[in-house]
Amino acid sequence: MQHKTLTQFLVEQQRREAALPAQLRLLIEIVARACKAISISVNKGALGGMLGDIGSENVQGEAQKKLDVIANERLLEANEWGGHLAAMASEEMETIHLIPNRYPKGEYLLLFDPIDGSSNVDVNLTVGTIFSVLKAPEDVSGRAVTEEDFLQAGTRQVAAGYAIFGPQTLLVLSVGTGVYEFGLDREMGSWVMTQGPLTIPTGNREFAINMSNERHWAPPMRRYIADCMAGKTGARGADFNMRWTGSMVADIHRILKRGGIFLYPWDSRDPAKPGKLRLMYEANPMGYIVEQAGGTAFDGTRRIMEIAPNALHQRVGVAMGDEAEVARLMSYYAEDP
Q: Which residues bind ligand AHG (CB under 6 A)?
A: 62, 91, 113, 116-118, 210, 246-248, 264, 276
In Å, how far from its chain's centre is CA 207?
18
Alpha-carbon separation of residue 222 from 41, 149, 251, 315, 332 (angstroms): 40, 37, 20, 20, 10
Least Cβ distance, residue 183 to Mn ion (angstroms): 22
CB-CB neighbours of 1 under 10 Å: 3
- Contact residues toward Mn ion (CB under 5 A) are 62, 91, 113, 115-116
- Residue 246 partner contact from ligand AHG, Mn ion, none using kind-dependent CB cut-offs of 5 to 8 Å: ligand AHG
Phi (first) and psi of residue 143, to 5 degrees: -155, 175
Tell the smallest beta-carbon distance from residue 115 to Mn ion (Å). Answer: 5
We find the least distance from the C-beta atom of residue 82 to ligand AHG, in angstroms, to be 25
Give residue 1's identity as a one-letter amino acid code.
M
C-alpha–C-alpha distance, residues 29 and 13, integer Å: 13
Cβ partners under 8 Å of residue 2, min gap 6: none
* Residue nearer to Mn ion on the CB measure, 62 or 80: 62
Task: Let me know how long the chain is.
Answer: 337
Q: Give the Cα separation of 117 and 29 in Å (integer).
A: 24
Pick the closer one to ligand AHG by CB: 131 or 264: 264
- Consult the annotation and say whether 174 binds a ligand: no
Peptide bond into 114 cis (omega under 30): no
113 annotated ligand-binding residue: yes
Selection from ligand AHG, Mn ion, none that 275 binds (CB < 5 to 8 A by kind) is none
The residue among 149 and 251 lying less far from ligand AHG, judged by its C-beta, is 251
Given the complex with ligand AHG, which of 13 and 126 has the nearer CB atom? 126
* Closer of 90 and 157 to ligand AHG (Cβ): 90
325 known member of a binding site: no
Binding residues for substrate: 116-119, 210, 276
